[in-house]
């Protein structure tokens, strides 16, 4: 008798027995999973034989022989057939609403994400996009993901190059980091950028040294001179893009997504669609510090709608290390556009602004998320936290402040993270995509300590890992691979001592990420009473060779006991 037949027989016999049991008999499961590697991400019991689900939550876990009594006539029984089931991935940091907008823009990424290898390739892709989407000559043309370090020219495109190819369209292309971009002449006209336009606070309009004319490169807050003047999509377009985007997240095994810098308009939209019951996944939104006053007018907004939370406040203190705007104590070792020498990057906010946001959040029990890449920006944060908590007389156990990226944190700063109970959300995909670039720009000593996850784990710091999508692909198995291997594009191991075990890497994407969001009591591990959020993999990440983890496939994503994505059978 095969296993499926055996289970059906057990179900029939069990149902008959249950029909004469007393009212004290256990509830029957809505669904039941068995016969696979079920990894709980609970250190006390790392693997179980079977799971029973009831009303979208985990009813029980344990040996099949004990749990089979929970199978009734109406129970859906799923034989995993040796596949692996783990908690659904919890996205520690990405940009859901930016991803929505990117769906309608040209992808200018280099391999392995896409195929752009030169500036002519980039321009051709923009031209193809214009034709494909029927974009008129006077309409805005946008692209994202170009990386000058991967182009044959090893530089940013110029405004003149984009103007020559598109003399009438305003054009704006976003750097892979999303911390800068290049605009053509028509785009500068839309943005109101002239020769006398000053640099905005926290940003730079890069200019030619000789002519002092804008080159088209807009860094950090200077981008908003254009972005704030772009026409908003229609409500119908927004709803279509929302559905497409959340299904993309689900296809990567993500049951909880993050919108990592939510402006007030995006918050209003996300709350509206959640109230309409359109979410198939949970979304954690971080209120943008740029709309600080609007969000703080009513702190009760930091609450929960079904499958949507305004989770906390996000403030950005510096920029991008590969874009050379991250703020360091020591200078970059290579030339920086718009600078002569000894450039260390720059802060995007000053201490007054940081203290204002931090004080308001801590005083109102609003969780604070702080973008810090360079060690100088981390120093600024640590000093602010020390002063604000002292002034407010707060305990470090209370805040659970999250430091997004923490890429070039120093060992002494990690010690302060531990003391302050900070949660660093690291970004190990940088080891692959820009590890070689960081070595050139910053030197081997700083590059080797990029996203020091093993050091954090050994110190007892709860750390997470993220893709920062759309900066790098949403692929959670690739992210796991980079944390375990730390292999660069050139094949070199970057910081061998900071490699995680596959189990540690999975914790960073599940239970630790739930902890980061203050949701570890309801999700992130397979334990009784928690949400039945799972992902089914074709192979066990703990059993395959480390260099093949990125090849593992997502077969199915389950949210609160219901399938929201299933890989189509190619046979």
pLDDT in 10s for each residue of the chain, 571 residues:
444 443 434 343 343 333 333 334 468 999 999 999 999 999 999 999 999 999 999 999 999 999 999 999 999 999 999 999 999 999 999 999 999 988 889 999 999 999 999 999 999 999 999 999 999 998 999 999 999 999 999 999 999 999 999 999 999 999 998 889 999 999 999 999 988 899 999 899 999 878 888 999 999 899 999 988 887 788 888 999 999 999 999 999 999 999 999 999 999 999 999 999 999 999 999 999 999 999 999 888 898 888 999 999 999 999 999 999 999 999 999 988 777 678 999 999 999 999 999 999 999 999 999 999 999 999 999 999 999 999 999 987 778 999 999 999 999 999 999 999 999 999 999 999 999 999 999 999 999 999 999 999 999 999 999 999 989 999 999 999 999 999 999 999 999 999 999 999 999 999 999 999 999 999 999 999 999 999 999 999 999 999 999 999 999 999 999 999 999 876 5
Q: What is the CATH number of domain 235-559?
A: 3.20.20.140
The model's pTM: 0.89
Contacts of 195 (CB under 8 A, 6+ apart): 212, 213, 214
The answer to whether 285 and 329 are in contact (CB under 8 A) is no
The answer to whether 270 and 263 are in contact (CB under 8 A) is no
| Residues 406, 409, 414: CA angle, nearest 5 degrees | 100
Contacts of 427 (CB under 8 A, 6+ apart): 93, 405, 407, 451, 465, 466, 467, 468
Sequence ranges of the chain with CATH classification 3.20.20.140: 235-559
Domain 3-82 falls under CATH 2.30.40.10:
yes
User: In whole angstroms, how far apart are CA 420 and each of 357, 375, 406?
Assistant: 18, 17, 15
**Structure-token pair, residue 177:** 């980091």
Sequence ranges of the chain with CATH classification 3.10.310.70: 105-227
Q: What is the CATH number of domain 105-227?
A: 3.10.310.70
Which residue pairs, CB below 8 angstroms and at least 24 apart, start in 428-431? 428/453, 428/465, 428/479, 428/482, 428/483, 428/486, 429/467, 429/468, 429/472, 429/478, 429/479, 429/482, 430/321, 430/322, 430/472, 431/482, 431/486, 431/487, 431/488, 431/494, 431/495
Could you tell me which of 432, 434, 415 has the C-alpha nearest to residue 481? Answer: 432
């Amino acid at each position: 008798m095969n296993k499926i037949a055996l289970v059906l027989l057990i179900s029939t016999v069990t149902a008959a027995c249950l029909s004469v049991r007393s009212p004290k008999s256990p509830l029957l499961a809505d669904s039941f999973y068995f016969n696979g590697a079920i990894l709980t991400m609970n250190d006390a019991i790392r693997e179980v034989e079977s799971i029973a689900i009831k009303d979208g939550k985990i009813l029980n876990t344990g040996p099949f022989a004990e749990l089979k009594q929970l199978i009734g006539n109406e129970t859906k029984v799923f034989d995993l057939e040796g596949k692996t089931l783990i908690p659904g991935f919890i996205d520690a940091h990405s940009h859901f609403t930016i991803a929505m907008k990117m769906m309608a823009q040209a992808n200018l990424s280099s391999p392995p994400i896409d195929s752009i290898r030169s500036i002519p390739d980039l321009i051709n892709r923009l031209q193809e996009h214009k034709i494909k989407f029927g974009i008129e000559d006077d309409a805005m043309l946008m692209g994202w993901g170009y990386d000058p370090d991967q182009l044959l020219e090893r530089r940013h495109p110029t405004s003149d190059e984009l103007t020559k190819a598109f003399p009438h369209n305003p054009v704006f292309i976003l750097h892979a980091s999303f911390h800068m971009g290049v605009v053509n002449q028509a785009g500068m006209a839309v943005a109101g950028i002239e020769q006398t336009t000053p640099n905005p606070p926290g940003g730079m309009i890069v200019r030619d040294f000789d002519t002092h004319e804008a080159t088209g490169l807009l860094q950090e807050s200077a981008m908003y001179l254009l972005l704030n003047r772009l026409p908003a999509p229609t409500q119908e377009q927004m709803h279509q893009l929302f559905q497409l985007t959340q299904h993309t997240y689900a296809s990567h095994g993500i049951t909880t997504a993050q919108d990592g810098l939510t402006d007030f308009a995006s918050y209003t939209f996300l709350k509206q669609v959640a109230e309409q019951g359109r979410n198939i996944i949970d979304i954690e939104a971080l209120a943008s510090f740029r709309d600080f006053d609007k969000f703080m007018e009513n702190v009760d907004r930091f609450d929960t709608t079904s499958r949507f939370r305004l989770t906390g406040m996000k403030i950005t203190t510096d920029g991008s290390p590969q874009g050379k705007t991250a703020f360091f104590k020591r200078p970059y070792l290579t030339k920086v556009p718009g600078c002569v020498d000894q450039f260390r990057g720059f802060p995007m906010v000053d201490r007054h602004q940081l203290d204002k946001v931090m004080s308001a959040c801590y005083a109102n029990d609003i969780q604070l998320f702080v973008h810090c890449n360079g060690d100088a920006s981390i120093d600024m944060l640590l000093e602010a936290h020390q002063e604000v908590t002292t002034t407010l007389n707060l305990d470090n156990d209370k805040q659970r402040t999250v430091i997004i990226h923490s890429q070039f944190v120093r060992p002494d700063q990690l010690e302060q993270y531990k003391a302050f109970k900070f949660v660093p959300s690291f970004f190990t995909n940088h080891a692959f995509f820009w590890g070689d670039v960081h070595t050139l720009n910053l030197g081997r000593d700083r590059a080797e300590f990029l996203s020091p996850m093993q050091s954090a784990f050994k110190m007892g710091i709860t750390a997470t890992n993220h893709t920062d999508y759309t900066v790098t692909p949403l692929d959670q198995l690739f992210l796991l691979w980079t944390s375990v291997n730390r292999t660069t594009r050139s094949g070199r191991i970057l910081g061998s001592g900071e490699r995680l075990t596959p189990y540690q890497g999975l914790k960073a994407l599940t239970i630790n990420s739930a902890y980061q969001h203050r949701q570890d009591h309801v999700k992130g591990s397979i334990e009784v009473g928690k949400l039945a959020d799972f992902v089914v993999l074709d192979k066990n990440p703990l059993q395959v060779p480390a260099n093949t983890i990125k090849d593992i496939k997502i077969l199915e994503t389950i949210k609160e006991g219901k399938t929201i994505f299933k890989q189509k059978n190619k046979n």
